[in-house]
Amino acid sequence: MLPQRFIKTSLRNLRSPIAAALCRNYNSKIDASKLTIERNKNPKAKVPNDQLVFGHSFTDHMLEIDWDVENGWHDPKIVPYGNLSISPAAPTLHYGIGCFEGMKAYKDAAGQVRMFRPNKNIERLENSMARLTLPSMYDCSSALFNDDATALGEDGGFLQCMKELIRLDHDWIPQEEGYSLYIRPTAIGSAESLGLKKSSHCKLFVILSPAGPYYATGFKPVKLLADTKNVRAWPGGVGNVKVAGNYGPTIKPSHDAAEDHDCNGSLWLYGENDEITEVGAMNIFFVMKKKDGSGTEIVTAPLTRGDILPGVTRDSILRLAREWGDYEVSERFLTMGEVLEAEKEGRLLESMGCGTAAIVSPVKSILYKGHEIKMPTGDEVGPVAKKMWATICDIQYGKKDEHPWSTVI
Amino acid sequence: MLPQRFIKTSLRNLRSPIAAALCRNYNSKIDASKLTIERNKNPKAKVPNDQLVFGHSFTDHMLEIDWDVENGWHDPKIVPYGNLSISPAAPTLHYGIGCFEGMKAYKDAAGQVRMFRPNKNIERLENSMARLTLPSMYDCSSALFNDDATALGEDGGFLQCMKELIRLDHDWIPQEEGYSLYIRPTAIGSAESLGLKKSSHCKLFVILSPAGPYYATGFKPVKLLADTKNVRAWPGGVGNVKVAGNYGPTIKPSHDAAEDHDCNGSLWLYGENDEITEVGAMNIFFVMKKKDGSGTEIVTAPLTRGDILPGVTRDSILRLAREWGDYEVSERFLTMGEVLEAEKEGRLLESMGCGTAAIVSPVKSILYKGHEIKMPTGDEVGPVAKKMWATICDIQYGKKDEHPWSTVI
């Protein structure tokens, strides 16, 4: 067997038959055919739908796949849901070497289980892992997003195992519209030593949590604090990947926005022109009449600078809006000055956060330097948000004609 | 008992007898008198000094102190070193809610165990915890840095327990000069649910690892890559606290600096003028003759902008340099342009990273946009780095007259 360092060095950015040959003694791919299932002998009682709190109850099983630098991926295993045994020296605890995804499975009217664009999440997870030097296609461990399989329209090994887990726990998916099964794939550096370096061990796991509708009692448009003090991400940073360290530091600012300003969340800005980047843990869209009177623009921050998370819902909204053709769809940085000007000139129409949990989260107003910018939609949901929400929901629950974004599993 | 939310809201930024009274049923402080010790029945063989690898071997015991939002701090306990049992939903794994410190204990010539300015680390840990909404003095859990005690020159509850752990495992401190016991206090969000919010549970733990001298075969001045692509921290971010998420993202740039440019680490820059901020996971100092010929300047980045870690070694070097009075000591942002100019004019004298592990890490050269800026010190250690290293070492090993920075425990 060739030394790992040689293999890794030789194969950086190289994906070829040579790579495959060099990796022969190293499990570079997750092999779903080797998945083992240890059934939970003490299944829990299901939580009644009206008592579901986001992320508080979990299904009976979870998926675990370990990796180490010498052997590559171990055989995947489904085991009873329970605590992980983690070294107190593990880099996930000390250095934030962890990344995750948020996905959902839905039960359609026919009782079939569906997923929404799952490969988009798998691809992003792989990018997050690569950024943290966890195993990825860039170092001969292209296990998650299996290029060969995907080219044939097949699933990579990781997605195959994840689907198996969801099928095993499908009874946990609430069978009411608006309900779903929240899926949390996570990868952590699980080495047993300190030292700021590539983790010699990685644990990839998936837990499942039944979730109620984000808007149990109808949409609740939110008031945001445009945060001129805290910055979520920055060029040259890691805002474009879903790594653990991007999230913890946002809790205090959001908490302060609620306590000190009675706001429901933080609108993140960047730079001396207060460019709008994201909201809370979501992307954000604005709908405005154009200054030159030539139509209406839907705008969200671009991915070019590396400080914006490439959201799956963001991408879906952009694609739908372009397909509909009613609006000018822009990926550009909008400044708070432009929003103020649009408000003043009566051109500001609506705004919405977007993400997997809510699909869309309409904005009521934005508190910026003491001035509350009010959306004309007030406590109502704007027409764009409403149409986006309904269209995406219909696809997710398979109510439309078969759509390529929805897969029965 | 008052609802926690009320208590927390009332007490934000308030530290008074009223706070203490409100907290009566809530353990706001770590009580070292309740420390329990479960001795390890299977002690490990000590690793021979010449086989020590940083962070790879650990002593027989560790300290664990749990906290929850209802009860505050639980009784501290020393237990055999071993894996932690952590919920797969814990916010430390998903959201980087974790922070740490790096400290050391030393054995002096008389066999006494010494620590170096431990309260500086405890204070910084508390700031890191507060930033991540982990329990801290700001929310009625002023357990770590016990103000009352410290005012009297006494230790807070956490430091008392930590010292007890070090005394218990004192046999693990190698008794050769240059050797020490590396101490890693860590605090993690240990709740059992998902959701981006203040963690309802926290685990504070301390592990100990015997460490060899950083320069086993003498100083090795390093070649750095001035990274014009990746940015470590930024104004409005969390670079001024020691949170997990600051570290993981630095591994890939440092790895690339080594593989692509044969450099030993990354020099972090910020802004369009390429201001020098830190190096690897250390602060950095430059020594230069002043342009106006009025003397020699020692310069490091200031803490004012919030993107620089307030290093204990950084603070010690600043204080010593000011005490000596031979140099103009500046805390200001130095640009790469200034360094290039100083090199050209023969005014650049030396540069050194500084941190707990190495004390000082002399710089040999800096690769910046293809040009290698060479320090006149070359592979030697400059006089300032040498004097700093010797002075701090002498204090740490108690070789000088009793110094307030060194405490026998």
What is the overall mean pLDDT for chain A? 90
Tens-place pLDDT, residues A213-271: 877 667 889 999 999 999 999 999 999 999 999 999 999 999 999 999 999 999 999 99
Burial (Cβ within 10 Å: 0-12, 13-18, ≥19) of residue A5: exposed
Torsion of CA B2, B6, B11, B13, to 10 degrees: 160
Instruction: Report whether pLDDT(B60) > 90.
Output: yes
DSSP A321-381: HHHH-SSEEEESPPBHHHHHHHHHTT-EEEEEEEETTTEEEEEEEEEETTEEEE-TTTTSP
Mean pLDDT within B256-274: 96
Tens-place pLDDT, residues A22-50: 555 788 889 999 999 999 999 999 999 98
CA-CA distances (angstroms) from residue A122 to A37, A147, A162, B155?
22, 11, 11, 49
How much is the pLDDT for B150? Answer: 54
The alpha-carbon gap from B341 to the nearest alpha carbon of chain A, in Å, equals 26
Q: In whole angstroms, what is the distance from residue B76 CA to residue A110 CA?
A: 54
How much is the pLDDT for A12? Answer: 43
What contacts A300, CB < 8 A, 6 or more positions away?
A: A283, A284, A285, A286, A314, A317, A318, A330, A331
> B255 to chain A: which residues are within 8 Å by CB?
133, 198
- pTM to 2 decimals? 0.93
How much is the pLDDT for A258? Answer: 94
How much is the pLDDT for B400? Answer: 77
- In the structure encoding, which two tokens stand for residue A278, read together? 């994201």
Q: Are A126 and B125 in contact (CB under 8 A)?
A: no
Instruction: Report whether pLDDT(B10) > 50.
Output: no
Q: In whole angstroms, what is the distance from residue A63 CA to residue B109 CA?
A: 53
The number of residues in chain A equals: 409
- Cβ A184–B248 below 8 Å, yes or no? no
Closest CB to B252 among A89, A133, A245: A133
Fold identical between A27-211 and A222-408?
no
- In the structure encoding, which two tokens stand for residue A225, read together? 């604090």
Given the DSSP bridges, would you call strands B283-289 and B296-300 parallel, antiparallel or unpaired? antiparallel
Q: In whole angstroms, what is the distance from residue A83 CA to residue B85 CA?
A: 6
**What is the separation, in whole angstroms, between the first and last Cα of chain B?**
38
Q: Where are the domains of chain A?
A: 27-211, 222-408
**Looking at domain B4-211, does it have CATH number 3.30.470.10?**
yes
Instruction: Report whether pLDDT(B261) > 90.
Output: yes
Instruction: Report whether pLDDT(B86) > 90.
Output: yes
Closest CB to B96 among A198, A245, A254: A245
- Scanning B241-400, the segments in alpha helix (DSSP H) are 251-261, 312-324, 336-344, 383-396
Residue A259: closest C-alpha in chain B = B9
How much is the pLDDT for B24? Answer: 57
A28-40 per-residue burial string, b: 16 or more CB within 10 A, e: under 16:
bbbbbeebeeeeb
The number of residues in chain B equals: 409
Interface residue of A134, A194, A204 to substitute, partner B, most B CBs within 10 Å: A194
- In the structure encoding, which two tokens stand for residue A69, read together? 């630098």
Question: Which of A164-168, A257-261, B24-28, B166-170 is least confident?
Answer: B24-28
- In the structure encoding, which two tokens stand for residue B349, read together? 């004298």
How much is the pLDDT for A287? Answer: 98
CA-CA distances (angstroms) from residue B6 to A264, B222, B274, B321?
19, 53, 46, 47
Interface residue of B58, B95, B182 to substitute, partner A, most A CBs within 10 Å: B95
**SS3 (DSSP) at A268:** strand
Tens-place pLDDT, residues A115-128: 999 999 999 999 99
pLDDT level of residue A14 (50, 70, 90 thresholds): very low
Instruction: Report whether pLDDT(A396) > 80.
Output: yes
How much is the pLDDT for A5? Answer: 40
Mean pLDDT within B278-290: 97
pLDDT level of residue A7 (50, 70, 90 thresholds): very low
DSSP structural state of residue B393:
H
Instruction: Report whether pLDDT(A153) > 90.
Output: no
How much is the pLDDT for B26? Answer: 84
Q: How many other CB atoms are there within 10 angstroms of residue B266's CB atom?
A: 27
The alpha-carbon gap from B323 to the nearest alpha carbon of chain A, in Å, equals 33
Q: Are A301 and A284 in contact (CB under 8 A)?
A: yes
- Cβ A194–B205 below 8 Å, yes or no? no
Percent of chain B with pLDDT over 70: 89
Closest CB to B96 among A89, A198, A248: A248
- Cβ B234–A237 below 8 Å, yes or no? yes
Question: Which of A203-217, A219-233, A277-291, B29-43 is least confident?
Answer: A203-217
> B242 to chain A: which residues are within 8 Å by CB?
none
Report CA A143 to chain centroid distance, whole Å: 19
Mean pLDDT within A196-207: 96
The alpha-carbon gap from B329 to the nearest alpha carbon of chain A, in Å, equals 30
What CATH number was assigned to the domain covering residues B222-408? Answer: 3.20.10.10
Residue type, B211: A
Mean pLDDT within B294-302: 97
pLDDT level of residue A80 (50, 70, 90 thresholds): very high
Q: How many other CB atoms are there within 10 angstroms of residue B58's CB atom?
A: 25
- Cβ A133–B198 below 8 Å, yes or no? no
- In the structure encoding, which two tokens stand for residue B28, read together? 């706001």
Q: In whole angstroms, what is the distance from residue B107 CA to residue B114 CA?
A: 6
> A255 to chain B: which residues are within 8 Å by CB?
133, 198
Closest CA to B22 of B34, B14, B32, B33: B14
Interface residue of B188, B194, B240 to substitute, partner A, most A CBs within 10 Å: B194
Instruction: Report whether pLDDT(A278) > 80.
Output: yes
Tens-place pLDDT, residues B360-404: 999 999 999 999 999 999 999 999 999 999 999 999 999 977 899
How much is the pLDDT for A24? Answer: 57
> B185 to chain A: which residues are within 8 Å by CB?
none
Mean pLDDT within B260-283: 96
How much is the pLDDT for A23? Answer: 55
B197-209 per-residue burial string, b: 16 or more CB within 10 A, e: under 16:
bbbbbbbbbbbbb
Tens-place pLDDT, residues B179-230: 999 999 999 999 999 999 999 999 999 999 999 887 766 788 999 999 999 9
What contacts B324, CB < 8 A, 6 or more positions away?
A: none
How much is the pLDDT for B287? Answer: 98
**SS3 (DSSP) at B263:** coil
> A198 to chain B: which residues are within 8 Å by CB?
251, 255
Torsion of CA B45, B46, B51, B52, to 10 degrees: 130
- Cβ B237–A236 below 8 Å, yes or no? no
Q: Which residues is A203 bridged to in the sheet?
A: A66, A188
Q: In whole angstroms, what is the distance from residue A310 CA to residue A191 CA?
A: 29
> B88 to chain A: which residues are within 8 Å by CB?
62, 81-84, 186, 205, 207
- Cβ A186–B93 below 8 Å, yes or no? yes
pLDDT level of residue B28 (50, 70, 90 thresholds): confident
> A229 to chain B: which residues are within 8 Å by CB?
236
Q: Are B188 and B98 in contact (CB under 8 A)?
A: yes
Task: For residue A87, report the phi and psi dihedrals to the nearest 5 degrees.
Answer: -60, 140
Around B315, how many Cα atoms within 13 Å sit in the side-chain half-sphere? 13
Q: In whole angstroms, what is the distance from residue A195 CA to residue B56 CA?
A: 8
Instruction: Report whether pLDDT(B119) > 80.
Output: yes
Closest CB to A55 among B131, B194, B231: B194
Q: How many other CB atoms are there within 10 angstroms of residue B303's CB atom?
A: 17
- Cβ B184–A194 below 8 Å, yes or no? yes
How much is the pLDDT for A217? Answer: 67
- Cβ B244–A247 below 8 Å, yes or no? no
- Cβ A207–B245 below 8 Å, yes or no? no
The alpha-carbon gap from A88 to the nearest alpha carbon of chain B, in Å, equals 6
Q: In whole angstroms, what is the distance from residue B338 CA to residue B291 CA?
A: 10
Given the DSSP bridges, would you call strands B406-408 and B72-73 parallel, antiparallel or unpaired? unpaired
B307-340 per-residue burial string, b: 16 or more CB within 10 A, e: under 16:
bbbebbbbebbbebbeeeeebebbeebbebebbb
- In the structure encoding, which two tokens stand for residue B163, read together? 């010292």
Q: Are A119 and A150 in contact (CB under 8 A)?
A: yes
Instruction: Report whether pLDDT(A69) > 80.
Output: yes
The alpha-carbon gap from B219 to the nearest alpha carbon of chain A, in Å, equals 20
Note the CATH architecture for domain A27-211. 2-Layer Sandwich (3.30)
- In the structure encoding, which two tokens stand for residue B219, read together? 């100083």
Residue type, A11: L
Q: In whole angstroms, what is the distance from residue A296 CA to residue A394 CA?
A: 25
**SS3 (DSSP) at B9:** helix
Q: Which residue has the higher pLDDT, A14 or A138?
A: A138
Q: In whole angstroms, what is the distance from residue B345 CA to residue B383 CA?
A: 20
Q: Which residue has the higher pLDDT, B144 or A56?
A: A56
Q: In whole angstroms, what is the distance from residue B126 CA to residue B30 CA?
A: 13
Question: Which of A227-236, B135-144, B283-292 is least confident?
Answer: B135-144
